Structure formats: structure tokens, C-alpha cells
Amino acid sequence: MTAAPVVVCPDCDGMAFTLEPCRCTTYGDRFLADADALGPRREAYRSCEQCRGAGSIAYPCYRCGRRGRRRAQLVVTVANLDTGAVASHQVVPGGLDPHRDPAGHWVVDLSFRVRELAAAVGAVLDETDAPSLWLDRQWRPDLPAALRHELEAQAILRADHAPWRLVLGRSTAPATVDPAARLARLCALADLLLLDLVVEARRQGEGFCWAIRYEVPGSPVPLGSPGWCRDLPEVLACTDVAKALTGLAERGLAAPARLLRPDSPRPPAGPAVDVDQLERRVLADCVDPTGGDELPGAQALWRDGRWWHTTLRAGEPVETLAEQPTGQVVRRVRVPVTRGYEPPDPAWLGELVDWRPCPDCRPHNRLRACDCRLGGRAADPDCPHCCGAGLRPSALHCFTCGDTDRLLRTVSVTVTDLRHRVVHLAWQAGTPEVAPLVATQPNGRPVVQLPDRYRLGSWAAVLGARPEDLRDADGGHDLDRDLRDGYVTVPWAGADPVREHVRAAGRGTAAGRLIVVAAPPDAPPLVELLRLALGLDLALVVAVCDLRHNAGDPLLADGLRWSVETKPRDAAVSPDDLPYRPSLAAALAWCRECLTDAVASAAPTNPATPIPVPWSGPRDLVADPEPDLLRLASRHAGQAVTVRFTRAGCAVHRHDDDAVRLLAEAPDLRDLRLT
Ligand SMILES: [Zn+2]
Ligand SMILES: [Zn+2]
Ligand SMILES: [Zn+2]
Ligand SMILES: [Zn+2]
């Protein structure tokens, strides 16, 4: 095997920093600039707060991590999740084997290598995500070796932002998504959750880009292009339920909150949906029928068990002024897009919810409650941040309302398994409830507990799920413990706990709708990820902390906390790596999602150390370590226990305050039964 040479970083010429044009040069020497009308090229703004008029700024070179040298090596690894077999190919100067493309350029097609590796491990790949390396025009097979290798090293360095690429496959081809079945499922779920399903086509260049998403009624049409999919079948193939729900709150922050009528007459179940017909109709709506002009786009809305069609039209241009870090102000003109036709309200939508303006922020600017008012105190007249005004500019969301600017009287909570089961709840401030005192916060505020119907954990049980499987349907975030168990910290004894609970549940939601999933996440088994990590010759680091003894204390985290990560084989356990996921399944799902990034960043930072080129035949699954992990965690209850699994065996660490202590090492976790 050819060794990976270390070469001078071409992006910074070995200086470890680069001189880049300052942002101010985009607009030239102007205080007020138009975003669309760019200034003379490379002219600096004389009063620039970043470059002080010099026009360029020195940045640390991120391509070499400020080392000035780089490793001319790429590694492509293909792994079969079903067998654990792993095969790799490394690209270094001298072993590129390029071919000529029809235009006469020399190119190294790595997707060919990926297919070879996939055949070697018996894997069917979803997609062969492999780069092509283009060689410099000077490159020819008959050049002297030293010059050829130098040009090849440059081609490799142009592609080394992900120096180690992992491509995952399985022994059998993945089931392809049937667009009609997916659309039918998305529609059925819209009916179940009482949401709109929006199918949108927007003009982009010569063609269209498509998006499909859930919305609450009253959400505005988003600015800008909604995605990259070129037709309806493609957008259906890449939009599952979780993706269609993601961003629901952001899209509907300004939508009016209305009560739900879950008992309203429901549309007949299982409508036939013709994807072709729907696509043709939406495209036809992108042309103005009166003048034959092109419109910016069109939408189809699934509401109340049928499709409603509307054109999208350009509205009045809106001008915005945005301050730049350079001190310049940039004027942008945006053309909002509105619906040509607003479909009638769905039968399940009731009257408007009462609300009052949020006292802790100002709409349309970034003023938020100052820290001096935390805990409900009056503003401090001597506060260095707000001088007693009680408000200060902040880049964060308003903690009180989550940037909805409204405090609602009622919040609608939907708990669902995302299949067939759903519960719609209405929690209303002012409802008298028996809420016994269960604890007192260190600042003296009482903590009370509301009855079962305010505890999402109890509703999870009704739907046959565990409380730790609850998550926000929008983005999949973990749910607050107070919402799970109905705990409320009230400002004073006797204050309305439901009002505080409604505020917590409604913070940052669209139209006062909190939608919660009560079902385990889709996660690979621990033993499968463990086998994969060993095949890649990496470490699988599993951390668990048993806090179940805190179950009765509303002020402390409880239950089991998990994390699962792939790390370089020799990486030390960091004191900061504490587990925080509420279930092993949630930790495994996250590990799987980050796997290719984790492998890319497992490449050694020192350019003199080569990236490993792992090979492994099929491996048997090991015995499931979960019972042993649970036993270890309960033995060290209250402290995080981290187990690093590598080909050499396993090492158990415990987090004591700020230090990490090695407890034991063994070839197999089961051998540690007696420690
Ligand atoms: Zn500047
Ligand atoms: Zn560099
Ligand atoms: Zn203040
Ligand atoms: Zn607010």
C-alpha cells in the first residue's frame, strides 16, 4: 500500500491562515446598499468595522485546521449493516487510475470503486454518494512521476472536506416508496391530526421545485423556494411523516389560534389519491387562466377529506433593512407570495382562542425581558444591561412566548402514535383543578402537580407507549419533564397552575397546537451498531446514567439517560460527554443519523497519521449488552457510566464530579459480572 504523503496546504500556502476579501467588499464603499445592486468589485467600505477599510481579513485556514500541512489521502468505506462486513479503498497519489471523460478531462470516478466495494461486502446501496476527482489540465500519464503525484495530491485535497466517507448498505434492496401510498398516508394523518397537508409547486428557473408539508390553517405561504425536488413523485419519495411535520411551528407562528372540534363529522376514510392527476392539476394552476401569464406557483391543500386548489400570486413588495457586521445597512426587497383563493375553514376548526400580548418581548424587534427580571422580579433600575427598562436586545427566542408574541388562554394538545391513534386535549387557563403541593423551588416558589389529564406521560400510557418515548412531533425534540408529569412551578401559592401549564405547553407553538408523538423512535438495534463499529475498527461509546431514584422528586432529572456515539478507536472518554437522551432507542436513532458525519470526523487530525483503511469479513452479532449496561448503571446509580467497546474489548469508566475514572477493562462486558 502506498503511504499517504503530507503536503503543504495549497489553500493557505502553509501559512495556516488565509487572506479573504471582507464581507464589506460585496457592497462597496457605501453605508446603505441594495442587496441586488452590488458595488464595484473588491472595493472596501472605508468605515468597515471588520477590516477597517483594508478590504481583506485574515482567517485561520479551516482546510488544514491551522496546521499548514495536509494529508493527501481519501478513504471510502462501504459497510453491510446486515452482516457487519466492511471494505475500504484509499485514494493516494500514485494509485489514482484515472480515465478520460468524453470532453477529454482526466477524472477518477470513485462511484465505480464504491460499487466494487459494495460487491465485496454483498451490500445493495441506496445511492453511491462518492465524489469524482478532476485532475489538473496539465496531468498526463507520461509526465514524470513526481509532477504527476503533485497534481494528483492537489486533486485529492480539493475533495478532502470529508476525508473518510462511509456508505451504508444492506444485503437486500430497500423497499422503494410508492408515491401514491405515501400520499394516501400523509392525507390520512392530516385528517387524524386535524392539520392541512400542503402540496406546493414553485417556479425555479425553467422548471419547478416541489414541497409537501403539514400546516396549521392560517400559515402564510413561505418566502423563497421550498426545496430541491423537481416533481411530485420525487418529493413524495423524500418526505416522510416526520419531515412533513418538521417546521410546523415555525411556519405557523403568526397563525391565529382556534379551538379544535375533534368530534366534528369526519370525512370517509381511505380516499383514492391519483398522484399524476394531482401533479397535472397543480402545474396547470401555475398559469394565469385569464391572461395566460406565468404565476409564481400553485398549491393543493388536503383539508376536510378533499383537495382544494389555489394559484399563488405575487403580492406587494416589502422592503427590509438589515444591519451587517461590517456596519453597513443592506436594503432587501422581498415579494411575498399569497394564495389566489383561500379554501373554506375546515369543519374541525372552532372559535378563536382568547389571548393577551406577551409582556416580555416586543413584536417585530429583538427586545426581550432582561435577565434582571428573571424569576418575576421588577426591573432593576441599576441594571447595567437595561438601565431599568426591563427589556434588552437578544438573539434568543422569547422565553415566555417562544416568539409568538401571544399568551393563549387555551392550548390544544394532540398526542398520537402517528398511525391510527390520537387524543386531542384542550387545556384552558382558569380551569379549577386540585393540584397538591409536591415540592418547593430553591427560590421559594411552590411546585404543584396537576391531575392525570395534564400529564402527557399518562396519555402515552393510554396509547400504549412509555413516557420516555414522548417527543415533539415537530423536529423530534425531547419533551420537558414538567409536561410529562404535570408539574408546575407557580409564582405564588394560590396562583392558577393550569395557566402556567398552558403557557409552558403553548410556548413557541403554531396556533396554540402542541403535537406530541407517543411511540418509540425508529432505531437500529444496539448490537447492529456495535458490530458495525467493530468492523470499522472504531469505538462505540455507550453512556448511561441511572436516575430512577429521583422519580418522586420534581426538581431533579429522573429515569435513565443514554448516549451512543462512534468515536476514534483511541479517543479518551471526555468528562463533558454525559448522557442526556431519555431512552436507549432515542440515543441509537441519533447515533445512526450522525453516523456518516461521525466517521468523517474520526479521521486523525494530525496529517502525519494516516486514515485507517478498515476491512472486515462478516461478523456475528454479540450478545446484547443492554442488561449488563443497566446492571452497571444501577450499581453506580446517580453517576454516568461510560463503556467503550472496541475490537480489543471493553473499558468501563465512571464520571466522578469532573474527572473520569477507569473502573475496569475486559474482553467482554459479561466478564465483569462480579466487579
Ligand atoms: Zn470590511
Ligand atoms: Zn491551510
Ligand atoms: Zn436589566
Ligand atoms: Zn414574548
pLDDT tens digit sequence for 510-566: 999 999 999 999 999 999 999 999 999 999 999 999 999 998 899 999 999 999 999
Residue 368 Cα, ligand 4 centroid: separation in angstroms?
7
Residue 147 Cα, ligand 4 centroid: separation in angstroms?
63
- pLDDT tens-digit map of 625-637: 999 999 999 999 9
Question: Closest-lying ligand to the alpha carbon of 28?
Answer: 1
Residue 70 Cα, ligand 2 centroid: separation in angstroms?
8
Residue 508 Cα, ligand 4 centroid: separation in angstroms?
9
Question: Closest-lying ligand to the alpha carbon of 66?
Answer: 2
Residue 157 Cα, ligand 1 centroid: separation in angstroms?
29
Residue 378 Cα, ligand 3 centroid: separation in angstroms?
9
| 166, β-bridge pairs | 77
Question: Closest-lying ligand to the alpha carbon of 26?
Answer: 1
DSSP secondary structure of 295-332: PSEEEEEEETTEEEEEEEEE---EEEEEE-TTS-EEEE
Residue 151 Cα, ligand 2 centroid: separation in angstroms?
17
Residue 387 Cα, ligand 4 centroid: separation in angstroms?
20
Helix (H) or strand (E) segment spanning residue 113: helix 110-121
Residue 399 Cα, ligand 4 centroid: separation in angstroms?
7
Residue 58 Cα, ligand 2 centroid: separation in angstroms?
12
Residues near 596 by Cβ (< 8 Å), separated by ≥ 6? 165, 166, 168
Q: How far apart are CA 604 and CA 164, in angstroms?
A: 10
Residue 15 Cα, ligand 1 centroid: separation in angstroms?
22
Residue 355 Cα, ligand 4 centroid: separation in angstroms?
12
The position carrying cell 393543493 is 300
Residue 361 Cα, ligand 3 centroid: separation in angstroms?
13
Question: Closest-lying ligand to the alpha carbon of 403?
Answer: 4
Residue 399 Cα, ligand 3 centroid: separation in angstroms?
15
Question: Closest-lying ligand to the alpha carbon of 371?
Answer: 3
The cell for 480 is: 420537558
For residue 674, the model assigns a pLDDT of 46
Q: How far apart are CA 665 and CA 575, in angstroms?
A: 18
The cell for 524 is: 437500529
Residue 389 Cα, ligand 3 centroid: separation in angstroms?
7
Residue 232 Cα, ligand 4 centroid: separation in angstroms?
38
Question: Closest-lying ligand to the alpha carbon of 11?
Answer: 2
3-state DSSP assignment of residue 463: coil
Q: How many C-beta atoms lie closer than 10 Å to residue 267's C-beta? A: 16
Contact indicator for 483, 504 with CB cutoff of 8 Å: yes
3-state DSSP assignment of residue 528: helix
Residue 369 Cα, ligand 4 centroid: separation in angstroms?
8
Residue 212 Cα, ligand 1 centroid: separation in angstroms?
41
- Listed in sequence order, the DSSP H helices in 126-204 are 145-158, 179-193
Residue 614 Cα, ligand 2 centroid: separation in angstroms?
27
Residue 22 Cα, ligand 1 centroid: separation in angstroms?
5
For 669, half-sphere exposure in the C-beta direction (CA atoms, 13 angstrom radius) is 24
Question: Closest-lying ligand to the alpha carbon of 503?
Answer: 4
SS (H, E, C) 31-92: CEEECCCCCCCCCCCCCCCCCCCCCEEEEECCCCCCCCEEECCEEEEEEECCCCCEEEEEEC
For residue 431, the model assigns a pLDDT of 94
Contact indicator for 66, 95 with CB cutoff of 8 Å: no
Beta-carbon neighbours within 5 Å of ion ligand 3 = 370, 372, 383, 385-386
For residue 646, the model assigns a pLDDT of 95
The position carrying cell 477597517 is 52
For residue 152, the model assigns a pLDDT of 92
What's the N-to-C CA distance of the chain in angstroms?
44
Residue 281 Cα, ligand 1 centroid: separation in angstroms?
50
For residue 411, the model assigns a pLDDT of 97
Residue 398 Cα, ligand 4 centroid: separation in angstroms?
5
Residue 141 Cα, ligand 4 centroid: separation in angstroms?
66
Residue 403 Cα, ligand 4 centroid: separation in angstroms?
5
DSSP strand pairing (640-646 vs 539-547):
antiparallel
The cell for 168 is: 451504508
Beta-carbon neighbours within 5 Å of ion ligand 4 = 358, 360-361, 398, 400-401
φ/ψ of residue 617, rounded to 5: -75, 180
Residue 400 Cα, ligand 1 centroid: separation in angstroms?
37
Q: Per-10-residue mean pLDDT for the chain, 675 residues long?
A: 81 90 87 77 85 90 91 94 95 88 88 92 81 86 90 90 91 88 93 95 90 95 83 94 95 93 75 85 88 87 92 89 88 89 93 90 77 76 84 81 89 95 95 94 94 97 95 93 95 92 94 96 95 96 96 91 95 89 95 93 92 94 93 94 94 90 89 62
Question: Closest-lying ligand to the alpha carbon of 385?
Answer: 3
Question: Closest-lying ligand to the alpha carbon of 47?
Answer: 1
Residue 568 Cα, ligand 2 centroid: separation in angstroms?
23
Contact indicator for 111, 165 with CB cutoff of 8 Å: no
DSSP strand pairing (329-334 vs 32-34):
parallel
Contact indicator for 169, 78 with CB cutoff of 8 Å: yes
Residue 398 Cα, ligand 3 centroid: separation in angstroms?
15
- pLDDT tens-digit map of 313-366: 988 888 888 888 889 898 988 888 999 999 999 999 999 999 999 888 876 777
DSSP state at residue 617 = -
Residue 354 Cα, ligand 2 centroid: separation in angstroms?
58
Residue 61 Cα, ligand 2 centroid: separation in angstroms?
5
Beta-carbon neighbours within 5 Å of ion ligand 2 = 9, 11-12, 61, 63-64
Residue 387 Cα, ligand 3 centroid: separation in angstroms?
6
Residue 365 Cα, ligand 4 centroid: separation in angstroms?
11
